[in-house]
Amino acid sequence: MSLTSVLESSDFELSAVATHAPGPSGFLPITPEMLLNQPSGNLFGLSQNVGMGWDPKHLLGPEILILSTHGGLRAEDGSPIALGLHTGHWEVGSLVAEAARELKALDAVPFAGACTDPCDGRTQGTTGMLDSLPFRNDAAIVLRRLMRSLPTSSGVLGIATCDKGLPAMMMALASAADLPTVLIPGGVTLLPEDGEDAGKVQTIGARYAQKQITLEYAAEIGCRACATPGGGCQFMGTAATAQVVAESLGLSLPHSALAPSGQPIWLDAARRSARTILRLKQLQITTSEILTDASIQNAMTLHAAFGGSTNLLLHIPAIAHAAKLRRPTTSDWAHTNRQVPRLVDALPNGPSNYATVQVFLAGGTPEVMLHLRRAGLLDTTAKTVSGETLDTCLDWWHESPRRHTLRKNLRDQDGIDPDDVIMSPDRARSRGLTSTICFPVGNLAPEGSVIKSTSIDASLVDPGGRYRHLGPAKVFTTEAAAIHAIKTGLIVQHDVIVLICCGPAGAGMQEIYQVTSALKVLPFCKHVAVLTDARFSGVSTGACIGHISPEALAGGALGKIRDGDQIEIVIDRTALTGQVNLVGDSSSIFSSEEAAQQLSQRSPRSDLAPHPSLPDDTRLWAALVQASGGTWGGCVYDVDAITTQLERGRQTTKATTVAMQKGTAL
């Protein structure tokens, strides 16, 4: 490429550059009262609206802001001009357009803005993961600022799909207490007709390293895994779980979560949501009437029934905090999971591993809710964005032609009984589905941890529902080192992988699916456990315990473990209790008192350090969330808590300065 080609374009006509244009014709629909009383910004906004091409005769309809996570640039035929970062935001612009057209047809004035989002799949094992969870807070801030920057809006439609953008959107909408808001989930991608889902395909590197697949197979299967260009992944990971949560909160219309991206039924949800936001305005129903303590509890209930991603333990409290509601605690989660049976058979925790679009056809969120309502486990008095209660919506769903037709389609197209995908409690119990999560404690997790207990291999669980593992620790301070050990055969049966320095202060609480997916391909994988202060992808499986607190870099006991230490894990999948303890070293087994003494006397490992590429932005995020309740508080920014700590620090500094000055004077 020559310098001339960069500095000049030979076919560009320089003399055509203009300095004036006629401007839009017509008249703004303003009145003397508006000129006398409206802020100048409101009036100038009308000028800008006309400048962008809006008909001046239709300027005074209700203004609705459509916010999305759209990314990439598509031609009119859908072909890529510039790629998005992932399929989850690639087609979202079509939902924006569909909703906007419907609003315009109903004499409203739609506005559109976007804050796009990253992909946890793309950043697995890379330094991009150091920004993943902190991004959620940043995006929520940007979305809230965009909402406040259109002070004349009558409501907000939010459109998002995936792991961080969707929780951020829910946090932003939750803060709009006095406005009506509606969330349109971005849907899911389809399965390839012949291939692997997007979760399994992320293990091609590990499987090739283990000589389980050929280069040709990896290349071909990787090419077709994302069978359609838009939507979240085909498994019940964080993206899919967050869509279910949005619907169970009442923020989305019934049966809108997990719709197949790009298809007419997906676009129809955008049109109906546009009508919904205007109905809410008409009924004067605001977000504060939708998001309540009851709706937060319903979201936790559906999370348990779906067997959802443990990442929602971070996101649901953050949504509650944004709505100025009480944040659920680990005790609340534990109680919910003891009460609520898992009813959904979905990737990756089976037993038959149906895809998210098949869960949608089986009835999705409202179908699960029907079972929960019969069991008395749902607060159906909660309001939804339909303008009606959850009870009314479920009555509609039960008799809906939509329900019966889609469930029949699943039988006819895929040969799948929808009652095998979404089960009654009795059928789920007979199929071996167990409760979703529990929170182990112990001398290595004095402030708690979490395990998706339903993902433990059933063959390792005794008749009483208990899983036990005793094995030697192999300690790694970086994800890369752990991956290398797995791929090169350094991990053997009964090992306990201890991955530290990966919590908020160490690596932005990175998601380590690369580790768990690589581990999954080992023939003895079910006999290896993982302990970490990081978090897991919703598609992770196995005896993986994360969110261990305090994290190693905050003085946690995990930062004192040495290679060869004996670690015992006990998980009771019936009582939903667990223990994770240091019980010995390479030469002997300790009593509980000896173990406590060992941990109190040991110094932290000398190799503890944050990730060398940890951005300053993430370091700041880690400090702020630690002051705001930390991991178990949802990794939020609690401004009152932060300013209180800053004031205490200021007072301490002032007192120290005064004392030093007195000492100098003496």
Write out the catalytic residue numbers.
537
Residue-wise burial string across 11-41, b where 16 or more C-beta atoms lie within 10 A, e elsewhere? eeeeeeeeeeeeebeeebeeeeeeeeebeee
- Distance from C-alpha of 541 to C-alpha of 283, rounded to nearest angstrom: 45
Q: Is 646 helix (H, G, I), strand (E, B) or coil?
A: helix
* Integer Cα distance of 130 and 127 in angstroms: 5
- CA atoms of 236 and 269, how far apart (whole Å): 21
Which one, of 524, 506, 501, lies nearest residue 614 by Cα? 506
- Reported as half-sphere exposure (CB side, CA atoms, 13 A), residue 311 has a value of 31
CA distances from 381 to 32, 107, 299, 332, 374 (A): 46, 32, 14, 20, 14
Q: How far is CA 76 from the centre of its chain?
A: 30
Q: Residue type at 78? A: G
Euclidean distance between CA atoms 257 and 83, whole angstroms: 25
Beta strands, E only, 44-100: 63-68, 73-74, 80-82
Question: Is 361 strand, coil or helix?
Answer: helix
Question: Distances from the Cα of 232 to the Cαs of 26, 88, 208, 349, in angstroms?
Answer: 45, 5, 26, 18
Count of Cβ atoms closer than 10 Å to residue 535 Cβ: 27
Question: Scanning the structure block, which residue is given the tokens 């001046």?
Answer: 56
Distance CA 343, CA 430 (A): 11
Sequence-distant (6+) residues with CB within 8 A of 298 are 248, 249, 250, 378, 379, 382, 390
Amino acid letter at 343?
A: L
User: Exposed, middle or buried, 10 (CB in 10 Å: 0-12/13-18/19+)?
Assistant: exposed
Look up residue 551 and give its two tokens: 């994290």
- CA-to-CA distance for 505 and 367, rounded, in angstroms? 41
Please give the Cα distance from 4 to 170 (Å, whole number): 49
Q: Is residue 447 classed exposed, middle or buried when 0-12, 13-18 and 19+ CB atoms within 10 A define those classes?
A: middle
Residues whose CB is less than 8 angstroms from the CB of residue 153 and which lie 6 or more positions away in sequence, other chains included: 63, 64, 65, 111, 147, 179
Q: Which residue has the tokens 């929520």?
A: 140
* Residue 184 to residue 166: CA distance in whole angstroms: 10
Is residue 239 within 8 A of residue 119, CB to CB? The reply is: no
Q: Which residues are paired to 579 by β-bridges? A: 441, 570
- The helix (run of H) or strand (run of E) holding residue 158 is strand 153-160
